[in-house]
Structure formats: structure tokens, C-alpha cells
């Protein structure tokens, strides 16, 4: 007598009780990525997975559904649905508002955190008279848009003034250094996603020492 066929696995329910948080998030997001539009699965967890909901808001705002079916102890059930075939275009930040809200901060005051992306982007703030030592750039081209303040960029052959509105192209591996003016300097960087930056090179000492900014920590993404 032939053996009875094994029951098909239940793909409509994903039970993540007892799984570590990191593994849980990866498993749920992977299941969501595999969904077709207008389909769903039921997530079963020990408690309300609010941090996982935050991940969905970061990566899929407006394109997913999150509906609570049960809030029983150790038996939270949420229907997770996919409304669009890809993540939707959306606003990440208003740079004008961001400059006002982050007054007094320095370094990389904002960075993109979306999980699946091909680009990295940061808002960099240099305090008044701060510098980033001249260094060889990474193995990626970089676009820089000056948002506010003034300063200079030092290249291999010259020094150029920086003013709001300028869009700079920094070819890969090109030498660059920055000095903020008396009112500071704020700019947006955009480049292909890459490994953390490692710097090389240095500048000649300034006549009057100014605050130095560790760009390797600022551009950690």
C-alpha cells in the first residue's frame, strides 16, 4: 500500500514564537518579499512585534498591510499583506526643516536606513571653522549638494569656494578636503552603497588650528 502523501506546509501562517529577534525579523521580511501583490500571511508571535512593525515602516511605508487578528498572551496574530509589487517612492526628509531641527549637531546628522537599496546618502554638518583633512576618496563617485553655510573644498590642484546650491561631482579616488566657514557648512552626499570608508592622505597644518571632523565615522555607510 503506497504511503500517504505528506501534508503540504502551511504557507499562510508564519509562527515566529521562540525565535531570536534578529532571526525573526529576517524571516518575516523575507516572507514578505516573496509575497505576490494582494496576498498575505498571518504572523504569530509571543507579543506585539512593534520593532518589526518599525522595520516595515522603514522599508515599505504605504505598501503593506498590518491588521491585528488576535492579541492573546503568547498568541498575537497579525495579518501582513502586500499591496504593491515594489516599495513605493516616498519623501525621506525635508532638508530645510532638518537643518533647523538639528541645529548645534555635527557629523552625519542623517543617513538613509532603508534595508534594500543601491544608494547611500547622508546629511553632513561641519561646525564653524571645522575641517575634514584632505584624503583620497573611496572607490565610488560621490555627488555633494551644498545645503547651507559656506566653506571650501581642497582638491589635488586647487581650492574652491562652497556656497548653498552648488552641486559637486567627486570622481572615485579623487583627493578632497573640506573646511567650513565661520557659519559652518551643511551638505548632502549621495553615492552607490559601499563598505565603510577608509581614509588616506593628509593636509598641511593650518596656521590656526580648527576643529577636526572624523569623516570615517561620519560616512560609516
pLDDT for 16 equals: 96
pLDDT for 3 equals: 54
| Lowest-confidence segment of 23-27, 49-53, 212-216 by average pLDDT | 212-216
In the chain the domains, ranked by start, together with CATH numbers, are: 13-82 (3.30.110.40), 95-218 (2.60.120.10)
pLDDT single digits (tens) 31-40: 999 999 999 9
pLDDT for 138 equals: 92
Residue 208 has pLDDT above 90, yes or no: no
pLDDT for 121 equals: 95
Tell if the pTM clears 0.85, that is, is over it.
no
Spatial distance between the Cα atoms of 135 and 22, rounded to a whole number of angstroms: 36
pLDDT single digits (tens) 139-187: 999 999 999 999 999 999 999 999 999 999 999 999 999 999 999 999 9
Amino acid at each position: 500500500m503506497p504511503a500517504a502523501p505528506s501534508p503540504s506546509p502551511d504557507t499562510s501562517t508564519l509562527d515566529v514564537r521562540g525565535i531570536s529577534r534578529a532571526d525573526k525579523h529576517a524571516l518575516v521580511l523575507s516572507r514578505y518579499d516573496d509575497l505576490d501583490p494582494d496576498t498575505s500571511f498571518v504572523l504569530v508571535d509571543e507579543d506585539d512585534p512593534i520593532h518589526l512593525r518599525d522595520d516595515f515602516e522603514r522599508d515599505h511605508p504605504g505598501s503593506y498591510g498590518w491588521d491585528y487578528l488576535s492579541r492573546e498572551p503568547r498568541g498575537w496574530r497579525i495579518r501582513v499583506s502586500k499591496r504593491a509589487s515594489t516599495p513605493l517612492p516616498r519623501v525621506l526628509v525635508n532638508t530645510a526643516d532638518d537643518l533647523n531641527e538639528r541645529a548645534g549637531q555635527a557629523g552625519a546628522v542623517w543617513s538613509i536606513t532603508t534595508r534594500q537599496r543601491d544608494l547611500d546618502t547622508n546629511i553632513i554638518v561641519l561646525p564653524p571653522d571645522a575641517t575634514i583633512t584632505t584624503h583620497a576618496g573611496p572607490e565610488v563617485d560621490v555627488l555633494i549638494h551644498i545645503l547651507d553655510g559656506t566653506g571650501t573644498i581642497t582638491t589635488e590642484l586647487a581650492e574652491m569656494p562652497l556656497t548653498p546650491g552648488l552641486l559637486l561631482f567627486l570622481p572615485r579616488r579623487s583627493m578632497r578636503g573640506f573646511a567650513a566657514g565661520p557659519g559652518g557648512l551643511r551638505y548632502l552626499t549621495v553615492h552607490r552603497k559601499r563598505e565603510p570608508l577608509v581614509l588616506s592622505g593628509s593636509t598641511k597644518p593650518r596656521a590656526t588650528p580648527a576643529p577636526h571632523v572624523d569623516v570615517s565615522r561620519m560616512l560609516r555607510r
